[in-house]
Amino acid sequence: MNKHKWLLVLIAISMVILSGLAACAPSATGPAGKPTIKSFTASPTSLTAGEQTTISWDVSGVTEVTIQPEIGRVGPSGSLSLTPAANTTYTLTANNKAGSDTSSVTVTVTPAAVSKSDLTITDTWFAGDLIYFKIKNQGAAASTPSMARLYVDGFTRDSKYEDILAPGEEKTDAFTGYQYTQQRGETTAAQGGYEFPPTNIKVCADEANAVDESNEGNNCFSQMWGLISTYDFQYYAPQARWRTSHGDLRWNGRPDDENGAAYIYLGNLITCPAQIPNSWMLGRYWDFATTKDINITNPIPQIKVPPHSKFIADVGFKTGSNSTDGARVAFGYLDDTFSLVLFPKMDVYNDGKLHRYEADLSALANKDTEFFLWIETKASPEGDCVKWVKPRMFQE
């Protein structure tokens, strides 16, 4: 075969090979496979009603992208700010001729808190004849008009109309239909004022539940007013240990005994020191209510002092006393070293009057101790018979 024929054969073979290769090459039209969802997110995924979230997406190899609910067709990548009203699951669907793919993200929505008022009573007190109180709206919304109510020892005694209170507003008001001092007070000989028996005072806001509040359980404020007697020194005087600077005393001695005496006269405790200038007398008290047999193995039981306690007595001279320069009185206790500690002394004179003696016992709260009634004579001790009216420990 000549060279010309061989050239034609080679050309034909080359064309066949090229045609085969062209047939094997991939098509240039349309996607090679299903679309790819590179990302689909929401930020934040938890929010309060009224707040926004942003959804973002990125998809490749796609001919159509949709997001449901309510959004519809979107581009292959992007972001949207949304304000869902409730929990919502967003679903992205990507399509092409080769198929589709989906991805979902859920956004949780917490309902927004509804602003409400919150009425409360913050304080109560009395002045003159009236009981006063403070009412406050500590909520986030204004209150509607309401009624405040006064209870005394559990009984309804008065009501008061309360107008609208703005958020955070506090006002002072008073119950004008109930006179506390006239109803509960007892005149004392010492001060011409009032002593009050223990009384439970309760004031409640929104008693008719007319106000929609964020907290319905804090409307009332309760206090115990008055004085609660916890230890009566006159009642236990016969059991106390009486002593003067001259020696021990026998209870219920003679008023004219020069060595001193302690006794009850016309319903009051009378203490007469020894007739010695600048001498002293004391009565020692402990918890007689639990006393059985005092000895080395069963020591003196001490008195437990309640919180918020004080000692109160009205002190003067026994009728008919001829004291010329008066005496001094005090109240005392045993400290942790078992030493006698006296509260400030008070001068008492033979002027026909009673004088209030008080000692604040709050520093002794919850401690165990013994107490003392203390009397001192001055330069002229004759006739220094001191009268104690209602000597008691009270808890406020």
- Beta-carbon contacts of residue 147 (< 8 Å; ≥ 6 apart): 159, 160, 161, 162, 206, 207, 208, 210
Mean pLDDT estimate for the chain: 86
Q: pLDDT band at residue 128, thresholds of 50, 70 and 90? A: confident
Same domain, 193 and 238: no
Q: Kindly report the backbone phi and psi dihedral angles of residue 201, in degrees, each rounded to the nearest multiple of 5, phi listed first.
A: -110, 125
Residue 269 lies in a domain: yes
Q: What is the pLDDT of residue 182?
A: 63
Any domain includes 351: yes
- State which of 58, 75, 110 marks the end of a domain: 110
The CA dihedral of 16, 18, 19, 25, to the nearest 10 degrees, is 150
Q: Which of 75, 90, 110 is the last residue of a domain?
A: 110
Is residue 64 within 8 A of residue 35, CB to CB? The reply is no
Select from 97, 33, 95 the least CA-distant residue to 59: 95
Model pLDDT, residue 165: 96
Please say whether the beta carbons of 54 and 42 come within 8 A. Answer: yes
Which helix (H) or strand (E) covers residue 32, if one does?
none
Give yes or no: residues 222 and 236 share one domain.
no
Instruction: Report which of residues 352 and 288 the model is more confident about.
Output: 352
Tell me, yes or no, whether 222 and 239 share the same domain.
no
Half-sphere exposure of 38 (CA within 13 A, CB side): 10
Which SS3 state, helix, strand or coil, does residue 364 take?
helix
Distances (CA, A) of 344 to 231, 283, 355: 21, 17, 14
Q: How far, CA to CA in Å, does 172 sit from each of 143, 162, 163, 220, 394?
A: 16, 10, 12, 15, 30
Residue 379 lies in a domain: yes
Residue 31 in contact with residue 60, Cβ under 8 Å? no
Residues 6+ positions from 99 with CB-CB distance below 8 Å: 33, 34, 35
Q: Does the bond joining 31 to the residue before it have cis omega, within 30 degrees of 0?
A: no
Total domains in the fold of the chain: 3
My answer on whether 237 and 216 are in the same domain is no
CA-to-CA distance for 383 and 283, rounded, in angstroms? 19
Task: Tell me: pLDDT of 329 over 80.
Answer: yes
- Say yes or no: 262 and 304 in one domain: yes
Q: Is the same domain home to 191 and 249?
A: no
Q: Report the pLDDT value the prediction gives residue 187, as an integer from 0 to 100.
A: 41
- What is the pLDDT at residue 30? 45
User: Over 60: is that where the pLDDT of 264 sits?
Assistant: yes
Using only the alpha carbons of the chain, give its radius of gyration. 47
Asked whether residue 189 falls in the same domain as residue 273, the answer is no
pLDDT in tens, 131-164: 999 999 999 999 999 999 999 999 999 999 999 9
Q: How far is it, in rounded angstroms, from Cα 223 to Cα 121? A: 12
| CATH at residue 159 | 2.60.40.10
The answer to whether position 43 is within a domain reads yes
Q: How confident is the model at residue 73 (pLDDT cuts 50, 70, 90)?
A: very high
Task: Quick: pLDDT tens for 198-226.
Answer: 788 999 999 999 999 999 999 999 988 87
> What is the token pair recorded at 353?
């009057």
pLDDT(323) > 60:
yes
Instruction: State whether 286 and 242 are in the same domain.
Output: yes
> Any idea what the Cα angle at residue 378 is, between residues 373 and 380, rounded to 5°?
125
pLDDT higher than 50, residue 271? yes
283 forms bridges with which residues in the sheet? Answer: 242, 373
Question: What is the Cα–Cα distance from 150 to 173, expressed in whole angstroms?
Answer: 12
Instruction: Let me know: does 238 contact 274? Beta carbons within 8 Å.
Output: no
User: Is residue 321 domain-shared with residue 183, that is, in the same domain?
Assistant: no
Look at residue 126 and tell me whether its pLDDT is greater than 90. no
Question: Does 106 share its domain with 127?
Answer: no
The predicted structure's pLDDT at residue 53: 95
Would residue 24 count as lying in a domain? no
- What count of residues does the chain have? 396
Give the pLDDT score at 254: 86
Domain-located, residue 30: no
User: At a CB cut-off of 8 Å and minimum separation 6, what does 141 contact?
Assistant: 115, 116, 117, 167
Q: What residues make up the domain containing 199?
A: 119-226
252/304 same-domain check: yes
Predicted confidence band at 2 (pLDDT cuts at 50, 70, 90)? low
The neighbouring-strand residues paired with 54 are 43, 81
Contacts of 85 by beta carbon, 8 Å cutoff, 6+ apart: 49, 109
Q: What is the pLDDT of residues 159-200, one digit of tens each?
A: 999 999 999 999 999 999 988 766 665 444 333 334 556 788
pTM over 0.95? The answer is no
d(CA 393, CA 284): 14
Q: Identify the domain boundary among 226, 252, 277.
A: 226
CATH number of 323's domain:
2.60.120.260
In a domain, 302, yes or no: yes
Tell me, yes or no, whether 4 lies in a domain. no
Cα distances from 236 to residues 239, 250, 263, 349, in angstroms, run 5, 14, 11, 26
Q: Does 205 lie in the same domain as 154? A: yes
